[in-house]
Amino acid sequence: MTSVSISDLTFSWPDGDPAFAGLDAVFPAGHTGLIGSNGAGKSTLLRLIAGDLVPERGSVTVAGSIGYLRQTVALDTERKIDEVLGIDGIRRALERIEAGSADVDDFDVVGQRWDIDERALAVLGRLGLGHIAARPEQLARTIGTLSGGEAVLLSLCAVLLEEPDVLLLDEPTNNLDLAARHRLYDAVAAFGGVVIVVSHDRELLDRATSIAELRDGAIRMFGGNFGEYQRIIEAEQEAARASVRDARGDVRRQSRELVEARIKLDRRKRFAKKAEDEKRVPKIISGLRKMAAQESAGKLRNNHLDKLAGAEAQLTEAQKAIRDDREIRVDMPGTQLYPGNAVIELSERALRNGPTVSLTITGPERIALIGRNGIGKTTLLTEIADAGPKVPWRMLPQRLNIFDDAGSVVENVAAQAPHASTEQIRAQLARFLFRGSDADKPAGALSGGEQLRAALAMLLLGEPAPQLLLLDEPTNNLDLPSLAHLTQALNDYRGALVVASHDLAFLREIGVTRWVELTESGLGTPPDRTPIGLTG
């Protein structure tokens, strides 16, 4: 069986920042979801497995060949499709042979791949690139004629045509619409070797046969899919919280017993002092008693101190097992809408190079806006904003480019809430997990998850309080903890939502009340009132 084995893997970046120190892991045959927070080293690990990076110490052993789909697919728009697929040389050699060439080099290039066009078109067809797969001459098209999602699928086709034994995928569903995601899911499921996929797409992770969690520089393997992993972690966290409660109780008990022992010793000391002052016992006997009492008191005090130190050590150890599960808390009565509140009335609005649409929103509706890549979802959100909603609104763009990068988190929020004091802003930012010096970080220095929280704070703490939020692909590039923070914040929000997203699990969790699909014909309800794969 093909597998990937990692032994004593040690790697540091040129600036000396360590990525891994003595990492051990085995990835078995099947589909493994590699998860972890941003910055944990997931993409770095894939690059080490692929051989893009060389470890300082240790080894990566792969039984078979590797196919690697990188997170960022940067393709020259002038390159032809067959070049990206890596089959242009074979196709040129075939053309020369068909024209009568007897050059041995051409036959060596072709090898056993006489049916390379058919194979390429078959793989393209399986991944939904049927317009390319229709005719071989389509392979001569340039990449510039494809959408970003099609470019990702094309790159996956190139990897699959190599027929690798190990498939490495780094955030493969970014920029893919629902239909494209499901084609990718099917391609991964049909792959017969080892798949290691870094992803925050829970639909994809729920199709995994195992989960590998990269945390604190170590990998822990879990059998089953992401749902099974979540159940195991929650059970462990409940046990860890119980251990912390017990340890805290023991610390309080030992502290109380230490105080009681000190009170008892103080009483004995006062009694002995009084007896000595009143000369009720001979001085020599008083001295002996005093020495014995001091020795006994020292033993008793040290015994209780040792017990307290042991209890505190147990508490510290128990707390290490508790994950940082801090939650965003949003309590903003000013955002609340009632069922009769009019929010937006968009009538017969023609989208640029797209359909004509109408949309009415009333009350605290939660609308999921779905549709294929390039159909105009971002344009529709902009049209809603330009139409002049009847309530205060804010929009969260895909790129989160709403910050003054040089300004701190506090300063960025203050710009949106000019009437709030610095103390009020800091108190509210604490609810978004920006406490103390964290709120003074420059926006340009924030991580992806921190940027999301800061953007939410700017939107929700701005004046006036928004009663309509327009969110454009808000889950792109978020790690799972950041995704949980976003979900928590939106579940606490009391206004109306319009969310353009391909992340079905996320849309379910924020309590979508209406599904709207944008197609070439306009806006409509998806078949059976649910989008592709929602109930699958």
Residue located via tokens 């990718």 = 184
What's the domain range around 370?
333-529
Spatial separation of the C-alpha atoms in residues 448 and 79, rounded to whole Å? 32
Same domain, 281 and 339: no
Stretch 192-221: mean pLDDT, rounded? Answer: 93
Q: Quickly state the pLDDT bin for 140 (edges 50, 70, 90).
A: confident
Return the structure tokens found at 500.
Answer: 């353009």
pLDDT in tens, 376-435: 888 899 999 998 899 999 998 877 788 899 999 999 999 999 998 999 999 889 888 888
pLDDT in the model for residue 110: 82
* % of the chain residues with pLDDT over 90: 33
**Mean pLDDT of the region 212-234:** 93
Number of domain units in the chain: 3
CB neighbour burial string for 53-89, b if at least 16 within 10 angstroms, e if fewer: eebeebebebeeebbbbbbebebeeeeebbbbbebbe
- Does residue 497 lie in a domain region? yes
Residue 522's pLDDT is: 86
Of 153, 175, 190, 193, the C-alpha closest to 30 is 193
Domain end residue (candidates: 226, 259, 291): 226
Which among 196, 210, 237, 257 has a CA at the least distance from the CA of 69?
196
Among residues 229, 280, 210, 268, which one has the least CA distance to residue 28?
210
Averaged pLDDT for residues 234-246 = 89
Identify any residues that bridge with 498 across adjacent strands, giving them in sequence order. Answer: 367, 470
Residue 251 has pLDDT above 80, yes or no: yes
Number of CB atoms found within 10 A of residue 249's CB: 12
Higher pLDDT, 212 or 13: 212
- Look at residue 188 in the predicted model and tell me its pLDDT: 92
261 and 373 in a common domain: no
Residues 265 and 343 grouped into a single domain: no
Q: Of 193, 226, 259, which closes a domain?
A: 226
Residue 136 lies in a domain: yes
Query: Do 26 and 56 belong to one domain?
Result: yes
In angstroms, rounded to a whole number, what is the distance separating the alpha carbons of residues 507 and 511?
Answer: 7
Say if residue 173 is in the same domain as residue 240.
Answer: no
Please tell me whether residues 143 and 87 are part of one structural domain: yes
> What is the average per-residue pLDDT within 490-504?
91
Rounded mean pLDDT of the chain?
Answer: 84
- The answer on pLDDT for 534 being more than 50 is no
pLDDT at 148 over 60: yes
Residues 312 and 342 in one domain: no
In what side-by-side order are the strands of the sheet with 4-12?
18-27, 4-12, 57-62
What distance lies between CA 170 and its chain's CA centroid? Answer: 13
Residues 263, 169, single domain; the answer is no
**317-327 average pLDDT score:** 72
CB neighbours of 303 closer than 8 A, spacing ≥ 6? none
Q: Which residue has the tokens 């924030």?
A: 446
- Residue 152 counted as domain residue: yes
Does pLDDT of 533 surpass 70? Answer: no
CA distance 393 to 385: 8
> Is residue 328, in this structure, part of any structural domain at all?
no
Asked, for residue 435, whether it belongs to a domain, the answer is yes
Q: Is residue 4 exposed (0-12), middle (13-18) or buried (19+ Cβ within 10 Å)?
A: buried
CATH of the domain at 460: 3.40.50.300
Per-residue confidence (pLDDT) for residue 76, from 0 to 100: 67
The CA distances from residue 507 to 328, 379, 514, in Å, are: 18, 20, 10
- Asked if the structure places residue 325 within a domain, the reply is no
Please tell me whether residues 354 and 472 are part of one structural domain: yes
Average pLDDT (198-211) is 93
Does residue 396 sit in the same domain as residue 341?
A: yes
pLDDT tens digits for range 345-382:
988 888 876 788 999 999 999 999 998 887 888 889 99
- For residue 404, the cross-strand partners are none
DSSP per position, 241-287: HHHHHHHHHHHHHHHHHHHHHHHHHHHHHHHHHHHHHTT-S-HHHHH
Higher pLDDT, 328 or 334: 334
C-alpha–C-alpha distance, residues 372 and 517, integer Å: 9
User: pLDDT class for 536, splitting at 50, 70, 90?
Assistant: very low
Query: Within a domain: residue 327?
Result: no
Q: Is residue 326 part of a domain?
A: no
pLDDT tens, residue by residue, 9-39: 999 888 788 889 999 999 988 999 999 887 7
User: Same domain for 465 and 358?
Assistant: yes
Q: What average pLDDT score do residues 239-260 get?
A: 87
In terms of domains, do 174 and 128 share one? yes
pLDDT at 46 over 70: yes
- Whether the per-residue pLDDT at 284 is higher than 80: the answer is no
pTM value?
Answer: 0.74
